[in-house]
Structure 1
Amino acid sequence: MVSLISPSRAQRKLAENLRSRRLNAGLTQQGLSERSGVALPTLRKFEQQGAISLESFLKILLVVGGLEKVIEATKLVKPTYASIDEVLKGNEGSTPKRGRHK
């Protein structure tokens, strides 16, 4: 699957979305910092630039909501087949289950 959004744009969009969630919950940056355990300067930098560690990002999601949806979004989606022909065709180009060593 090809994405049309760059990683830096995705970071900024995630920051905007979480800022909106924070405001919708009636939380100040200080309040969210206290509830999530994420340092206030880290939270400010995230909302301004989109830069944050994964752990801090997940802590914020735990407070403002959406953690379960992020976990669900990363699940492997297995294809559904309508016929045995589709199953056989799908196995022709199967990928290895382990990564390659370089």
Structure 2
Amino acid sequence: MYSIDPTPNDIAKELAKRHKALRKQLKISQAELAERSGVSLGSLKRFETTGHISLESLLKLANLLNRLQDFNSIFQAKDDMSKIEGLFTTNS
């Protein structure tokens, strides 16, 4: 089956790619980031290569890179638009 939607693996790899680019932009080595974040160097290397990392480690890296707030909108319920849509429907 083909889909234009990204798979979880695609998203993980893209996150890893963006993370690595941000780390390099900030001129932080993998070893320094691992030490400062409390994430093992092996986990960090694996993440940047494959996109695989535990949620706890990902949050530690995000926190150190001042990007923890990026996770605030994940899993938030969307506003119930049915009430608003009801205002615009007519019973003709």
TM > 0.5 between the two?
yes
Contact kept? 1:12, 1:49, Cα under 8 Å: yes
CA contact (8 A) 1:61 1:67 kept: yes
SS class of match (2:73): helix
- Give percent identity, aligned residues only: 29
Corresponding residue for 1:73?
74
CA deviations 1:24-75 (Å, max 9, x no partner) are: 2210001110111000011000000111100000000001132112122332
Tell me the TM-score normalised to structure 2 length.
Answer: 0.79
RMSD: 2.1
> What letter corresponds to residue 10 of structure 1 in structure 2?
I
Q: Which aligned runs of 4 or more in structure 1 are off by greater than 4 angstroms? A: none
Figure out how many residues of one structure are paired with residues of the other and give that number. Answer: 85
Structure 1 residue identity aligned to 2:19: L
**Is the 8 Å Cα contact of residues 38 and 60 (structure 1) preserved in structure 2?**
yes
Which runs of no fewer than 5 residues in structure 1 stay unpaired?
Answer: 87-102
For residues 27 and 57 of structure 1, the distance between their equivalents in structure 2, rounded to whole angstroms, comes to 16
Residue aligning to 2:21: 20
Structure 2, unmatched stretches of 5+, are none
Q: Does 1:35 align with 2:33?
A: no
Q: CA deviation at 1:82?
A: 6.1
What SS is found at the alignment partner of 1:72? coil
